[in-house]
Amino acid sequence: ASSCNASNNNNNNNNNNNNKTGVISRTHNNIAAAAAAAGSSSGEARHRSSPVEQPVATGAAAIASISTPAYTAIASPSTSAASGSCPTVGTPPPPAAAAGAASTVTAGTGEADEEPFTLLPPPAEAGEAAAAVAARPGAAPEEHPVPQGWEVRVDQFGRKYYVDHLTRSTTWERPKMLPVGWEMRRDPRGRVYYVDHNTKTTTWQRPTVENIRQFEQWQGERQQVAALSTQRFLYPNANNTTDYENDPLGPLPSGWEKRQDSGRVYYVNHRNRTTQWDDPRTQGMIVEEEPLPAGWEMRFTEDGRAYFVDHNTRATTFSDPRTGKPSVVVGPGGRCGSGSYAAITYERSFRWKLGQFRYLCHSNAVSGHIKITVSRSTMFEDSYHQVMRLPAYELRRKLFIIFRGEEGLDYGGVAREWFFQLSHEVLNPMYCLFEYANKSNYSLQINPASEVNPDHLAYFKFIGRFIAMALYHGKFIYSGFTMPFYKRMLNKKLTMKDLESIDPVFYNSLCWIRDNNIEECALEMFFCTDFEVLGKISEVELKSDGKNIQVTEENKEEYINLMMQWRLTRGQESQTHNFLEGFSEVVPLEWLKYFDERELELLLCGMQEIDINDWQKNTIYRHYNRNSKIIAWFWQFVREIDNERRARLLQFVTGTCRVPVDGFAELMGSNGPQRFCIEKVGKDTWLPRSHTCFNRLDLPPYKSYEQLVEKLTFAIEETEGFGQE
Q: Is 660 helix (H, G, I), strand (E, B) or coil?
A: coil
Helix, strand and coil content of the chain, in percent to the nearest 5, comes to 35, 20, 45
Q: By the 8 A CB rule, do 529 and 555 touch?
A: no
Catalytic residues: 693
Q: CA-to-CA distance for 346 and 323, rounded, in angstroms?
A: 22
Cβ neighbours, 10 Å, residue 16: 14
Q: Is 393 helix (H, G, I), strand (E, B) or coil?
A: helix
Cβ neighbours, 10 Å, residue 186: 12
Q: Is 9 helix (H, G, I), strand (E, B) or coil?
A: helix
Q: By the 8 A CB rule, do 622 and 679 touch?
A: yes
Q: CA-to-CA distance for 182 and 165, rounded, in angstroms?
A: 19
Q: By the 8 A CB rule, do 660 and 606 touch?
A: yes
CA 721-724-725 angle, 5° bins: 135
Report whether the peptide linkage leading into residue 188 is cis, meaning its omega lies within 30 degrees of zero: no
CA 94-95-97 angle, 5° bins: 130
How would DSSP label each residue in 213-253?
Answer: HHHHHHHHHHHHHHHHHTTTS----GGGBPP-TT-TT-SPP
CA 578-582-587 angle, 5° bins: 140
